[in-house]
Structures are given as C-alpha cells and as structure tokens.
Amino acid sequence: MSTLPSETAWLCLAVTAALGGLVLCQLKKSPGQVGRKVVCLAGLWGGACLLSLSLFWGLILFSLSCFLLYIYLSGQELLPVDQKAVLITGSDSGFGHALSKYLDQLGFTVFAGVLDENGSGAEQLRRTCSERLCVLQLDVTNPQQIKDAYSTVVQKVQNRGLWAVVNNAGILGLPADGELIPMSHYKQCMAVNFFGAVEVTKAFLPLLRKSKGRLVNISSMGGEIPLLKLASYSSSKAALTMFSAIMRQELSKWEVKVSTIQPGGFKTNITGTSEMLEKLEKDLLDHLNPDVQEEYGQDYILAYRRILTSFSVHSSSDISPVLLDIRHAISAKSPLTLYTPGPGTYLWLCFFYFSPTGIFDYFNKKFLNFDVNIPRTLSMPKWKNEVM
C-alpha cells in the first residue's frame, strides 16, 4: 500500500511528459506568435502548480492543463492553401505589400488592391510575384472602384470563391494635439481607416459567406490605447475594432470567422511622403483659429517632425510577426479573435486595462515622451499670462 502513491506519481509524471511532447509537436504545426505565448503561459502555470501543491496533485493538475492545451493547439493547425483566394487592400506599401508577396509565395491566389495601379508598389508586385497575383485599382474611399474590384474578383475566382478579405488600407494623418487637428483630417482618417473597410466588407461578404471564409481587419494598438497626438487616427481604428467585434458575432451563424490584428510599433510607410506631410501641415495651419495658434505657438504646433522621429525610434523594422499572425488568422482551423503582434504590445494592452488611470497616464506620457515642448502660453512666466 505504501508504494501506491509513489507508483501513481510516476504514472502521472509519465502521462505529463507524454502530453508535453504532444503539445510541443502540435506547436510546430502552428507557426506565429500565438502558440509560443500560450506555451509560455502554460509553463508558468505548470511551475506554479508544482511549487504550490504537492508533487502528486501538482502533476495531476499540470497533466490536465497539458491535455487542454493540446486540444486548443489542435484548433490552431493551418488549413491547406489549395490556392485559396485572398483580397488585400492597401498593397502599395507596408503590411499590405509585404503580405501580398508572402501569401503569393505560400501559394494563395492574391488580389492586391492598390491606391495607384501604375505606382512603384504595384509594378514591383507584378514583377516579383507569380501569375496568380492580380493587382487591382482599389481606392477604398471610391465606391465605383470597389464595385469594379468585386466584378474582377468574381470573374477570376468563379466557383472557387473568395476565402479571405484583409482590410489593411490605412492612413496616419498628421500627429498633433486633438484640438489642433483640422476636421478634414478627422474625416479623412475615418473615410480610409473605417468607412473604407466597412464598404469593402459589405461588398465582398456574399463571397465570404459562400466560402465560409475569413474577414481580417488590421486595426492598431491605438484602437485600444489612447496614444497621444493620434486622436484622428486612433478614433478611426477604435471604430474599426468595434465593427470587427460586432461582425464577429453576427457572421458566426454563417461560419465566417472574423479576426482583428492590433500591431504595435512597426516601420511602414503609413506616415506618407514628405510632400504629403507638408500638405497636411499647411492644411493644419490654414484652418487653425488665430487665437489657438497664438496660445500653442508655432514651434509647438510644428513639433510633429520630432513626434514622427520618436515613432521611428520605438518601431521595429521586422514586420514578420504581423505577417505570421495574419497568415494564422487566414489559415488556422480556429483563428483567434485578436492578435497583438509586436514587442510588448499585449503587455501594454494589459497595463492599460488593469492599471489605475492616473498611473497609466503617467507612464504613457513618459514612454512616448511627446511633451518635452509645452504650448507657448504655458511656457510664459505667470505674470505675463495674467497681463495677456
């Protein structure tokens, strides 16, 4: 009788080791950041079980955790490509351009929607990708171009259907205090980042329902976290995030799966060219109330150049985590509803949701370091403010 607990413990240890091996094998079939995060959490949980409980009960609980983890990872296996057709908006540069190339290499039939079909990004896709890739003129703010793109896709896919739509097209606008951003900038961000994605989604949903496919919306960490100087951009991405959450529930009855990608800081061309930034700067100054301009001061208003430099410093040039997560959202048997590629992105989201507002605001300002300059009126001595 005295040997029973010891034998049982050894049996539990063997079962745990076997389940752990199955989990690791299953992990290899699920590329990307998802599986690794889950396994790290499981490892921490297992260590806590073994340290806080007796060896016997710790192994029992950890074995059960490994079994549940194996079931979860089984749903993360990737479906075969089989030349599945995918539409990607905003493929001129950045995530969309890299994703078009990546999925084409994997064997997908890619419809790369671009803002300028004669631009350098479109020409590079035609030159470097396979014949399966089709470049589409697709300004997401132009309803006629969306209709034309739909007609082209239907003609080419025929009975194969469209497997996935990736709403990637987006603009950043000019980083500035929310009071300083012209209404035209707010409307432009909403038109591209939100209304464009909604209209593309509505146009292509009949094809996704037919294939029981995937809708993937590229939002932003700014869609959840109040990032300073990005009121117009973050507001539009917050709208897209909520749209995704609602569509995920409404489309579940059609077996269409919806995922939201909220990347952290990555170096892309979302800020636009220097000519575009100069135009946005001129538009901001032209529409600014003289009293407001006087109070803030031109040096403070035009500090966006330093803000963009700060963005670049805190951004990663390796966008492969984003590509892997989008591929997982498109191909996994049971894709996640939310992906947060990027160093520290998920931790920053957790910090925002669980920390007191005052603490978050303090670290948010310190981390972004945007308020080195202060508005002209606030920088003046108190007696001068009173005279004014």
Residue 373 lies in a domain: no
pLDDT at 54 over 60: no
Residue 362 lies in a domain: yes
192 touches 142 (CB < 8 A): no
What is the model's pLDDT at position 283?
Answer: 83
Last residue of a domain, one of 40, 74, 108: 74
CATH number of the structural domain spanning residue 315: 3.40.50.720
- Residue 74 pLDDT grade (very low, low, confident, very high; cuts 50, 70, 90): low
Range of the domain at 119: 85-368
The encoded tokens of residue 214 equal 């995937």
Residue 381 lies in a domain: no
Lowest mean pLDDT among 61-65, 150-154, 339-343: 61-65
Residue 386 lies in a domain: no
Higher-pLDDT residue of 355, 77 = 355
End-to-end Cα spacing for the chain:
91
What is the model's pLDDT at position 388?
Answer: 54
Please give the share of the chain, as a percent, with pLDDT higher than 70: 74
Mapping DSSP onto H, E and C, the string for the chain reads CCCHHHHHHHHHHHHHHHHHHHHHHHHHCCCCHHHHHHHHHHHHHHHHHHHHCCHHHHHHHHHHHHHHHHHHHHCCCECCCCCCEEEECCCCCHHHHHHHHHHHHHCCEEEEEECCCCCHHHHHHHHHCCCCCEEEECCCCCHHHHHHHHHHHHHHHHHHCCCEEEECCCCCCCCECCCCCCHHHHHHHHHHHHHHHHHHHHHHHHHHHHHCCEEEEECCHHHCCCCCCEHHHHHHHHHHHHHHHHHHHHHHHHCCEEEEECCCCECCCCCCCHHHHHHHHHHHHHCCCHHHHHHHCHHHHCCHHHHHHHHHHCCECCCHHHHHHHHHHHHECCCCCEECCCCCHHHHHHHHHHCCHHHHHHHHHHHHCCCCCCCHHHHCCHHHHHHC
Looking at the structure, do residues 277 and 346 belong to the same domain, yes or no?
yes
Looking at the structure, do residues 64 and 92 belong to the same domain, yes or no?
no
CA torsion 378→382→386→388, rounded to 10°? -50
Looking at the structure, do residues 37 and 154 belong to the same domain, yes or no?
no
pLDDT at 368 over 70: no
What is the model's pLDDT at position 196?
Answer: 98
Residue 1 lies in a domain: no
The C-alpha atoms of residue 289 and residue 283 are separated, in whole angstroms, by 12
Looking at the structure, do residues 257 and 124 belong to the same domain, yes or no?
yes
Taking the CA atoms of 79, 318, 141 and 150 in sequence, report the sign of the dihedral they define: negative
Looking at the structure, do residues 67 and 45 belong to the same domain, yes or no?
yes
What is the model's pLDDT at position 14?
Answer: 60
Give the number of domains in the chain.
2
Looking at the structure, do residues 197 and 316 belong to the same domain, yes or no?
yes
- Report pLDDT digits (tens) over 116-135: 999 999 999 999 999 999 99
**What is the distance, to the nearest Å, from the Cα of residue 380 to the centroid of all Cα atoms in its chain?**
41
Q: Hey, which residues are catalytic here? A: 233
What is the model's pLDDT at position 226?
Answer: 92
Candidates 243, 267, 275; CA nearest to 167 is 243
- Residue 91 pLDDT grade (very low, low, confident, very high; cuts 50, 70, 90): very high
Contacts of 341 (CB under 8 A, 6+ apart): 33, 261, 263, 264, 321, 322, 324, 325
